[in-house]
Amino acid sequence: MSLETIIKTVAWIFTIVPATIALSISFFMFRGAAKDDSIIMVLVVLGMTVFFIGLGTLIIFYLTDLGTALIG
């Protein structure tokens, strides 16, 4: 393992772990609030939809060569 790989791995861990904790706390808070108010439910579903579209796009670009095929 090279030093670059170790640094990248640690950086991804430092990025993913706090983001996962914050998102899970937010998810449970919004889920509780959405039970009481339908407008919050709509906003949560809309936000999740946009998030998953972005996530799907990133996965497609990272796991395929689509980005290099489109850009050059």
Percent of the chain clearing pLDDT 90 (strictly above): 8
The answer to whether 60 and 66 are in contact (CB under 8 A) is: yes
> Does 14 score more than 90 pLDDT?
yes
Q: Measured between alpha carbons, how far is residue 12 from residues 26, 47, 71 in Å?
A: 21, 24, 26
Structural domain boundaries in the chain: 1-36, 37-72
Q: What's the pLDDT score for residue 41?
A: 82
Confidence band, pLDDT 50/70/90 cuts, at residue 67: low
| Residue 72: band (very low, low, confident or very high) from pLDDT cuts 50, 70, 90 | low
Specify the pLDDT at position 17.
92
pLDDT tens for each residue of 25-45? 888 888 888 888 888 888 888
Please provide the DSSP assignment of 6-56 as one string: HHHHHHHHHHHHHHHHHHHHHHHHHHHHHTT-HHHHHHHHHHHHHHHHHHH
Give the C-alpha separation, 15 to 19, whole Å: 6
